[in-house]
Amino acid sequence: MQNKKALIILVACSMLFAASVVSLTDGDEVSATSPIVITDSAGHQITLNAPAEHVVTMGFAFTLTVMDLGGTDKIVGYDHYSTYVYNGDERMQVLEGIAMLGTGYNSDKASLISGLAQLVEDGKFVKDTDVVFLNNFSSTLATGAVYDNLVAEGYNVICLGAKTYEQSIAVVEAISDAIGLDSSGSVSNMITARDTVVENIASIAEEDRPRAMYISVTGGTIKVYNSGLAVSLIETCGATNAGSNGTSVTSYSSDTSAIIQANADVVFLDGNYDGSEYDFKEEFSLPSSFKVYKLNKDWNNPCPGMAAGLEAVYIQLYDAPLYDDDGSFISENGALIAASILTLTVIIAVAVVLVRRH
């Protein structure tokens, strides 16, 4: 009988330990015990009494982010650019059958406004509690444009956009806060990748850092970028943007000779290029030794995938892994493991005392 009681106590303590570990690792849902206040990329402040149960995502990056955070089931409407038919991204196939509400551009606002009204009428979207994620384009935010129209109709609208990696983290955080989810630890992954890069390059002298450039190809014309998310990945990694022409324009047209003369250690190619790095070099008669790396489409969007993009850019620039231990579970969860060991030690001590008493 005494052994049976001891066994019961040990099992109970084991269950307590398991529960403590789950509480430390489970990020499926962010509980909200007080109003959620979000400041969007346009400076608007939106207050929600609880995480949104349903969302409309008017932007490929926002759709990807909601899905990555674990909120696919919350999406009741999305935009043309998030459709599988448009971008060929197989992940988007899961959204087939959900309302497609146009492009999100002001010129196409009638489609969004009427589509939202239909969702409300069908009981699939509640104005007071649900959220519309919209791009913060100047045309969207102009007086009397789509943002004003939606707010006047009583919708919760969160305008989002980013030009840097840092701003992209803020976009993902805002979406996570709005839906109360981050099952994949997307925000912490983005922050960890950034912090690791900063730590790794801290000891590298300025003159020893690599040179890189980001280019895209449209209709056979090469565009070189002064700024943007892909350039931000390069600069976050401590590299010099060899393609910068010193002007404030986002991009400018260029030719093969100018790209060669820029003397970049790596040329990063837009993921929308219809072909491989080798196809690109052949099309523009670049030397076979020229180092070109094609980025994934996700990596030029303010979404969780940028963390993988930052790591890939770092690896190409420095020819070394970002994480010394390849991002092992132990390295990424050191604090968690230490806390778990401490918790287990306390539980075992309590169990021993209880067993002795019985």
Q: What is the pLDDT of residues 193-205, one digit of tens each?
A: 999 999 999 999 9
- Mean pLDDT score, 157-161: 98
Residues 225-261 have pLDDT tens digits of 999 999 999 999 999 999 999 999 999 999 999 999 9
Burial annotation 114-146 (CB, 10 A radius, 16+ → b, else e) = ebbeebbeeebbeeeebbbbbbbbeebbeeebb
Residues 56-74 have pLDDT tens digits of 999 999 999 999 999 999 9
Residue 287 has pLDDT above 70, yes or no: yes
Helix (H, G, I), strand (E, B) or coil at 157: strand
pLDDT at residue 34, rounded to an integer: 81
Q: Which domains does the chain have, with CATH numbers?
A: 36-185 (3.40.50.1980), 204-318 (3.40.50.1980)
How confident is the prediction for the chain on average, in pLDDT? 87
Burial annotation 342-354 (CB, 10 A radius, 16+ → b, else e) = ebbeebeeebeeb
Residues 18-70 have pLDDT tens digits of 444 433 334 444 444 689 999 999 999 999 999 999 999 999 999 999 999 99
Of all residues in the chain, the percent with pLDDT exceeding 70 is 81
Alpha-carbon span 191 to 303, nearest angstrom = 12
Q: Which two tokens stand for residue 134?
A: 């919209």
Helix (H, G, I), strand (E, B) or coil at 196: helix
Contacts of 310 by beta carbon, 8 Å cutoff, 6+ apart: 165, 193, 194, 197, 233, 236, 237, 322
pLDDT at residue 324, rounded to an integer: 85
Alpha-carbon span 215 to 232, nearest angstrom = 13
Element (DSSP H or E) covering residue 189 = helix 186-201
pLDDT at residue 275, rounded to an integer: 95
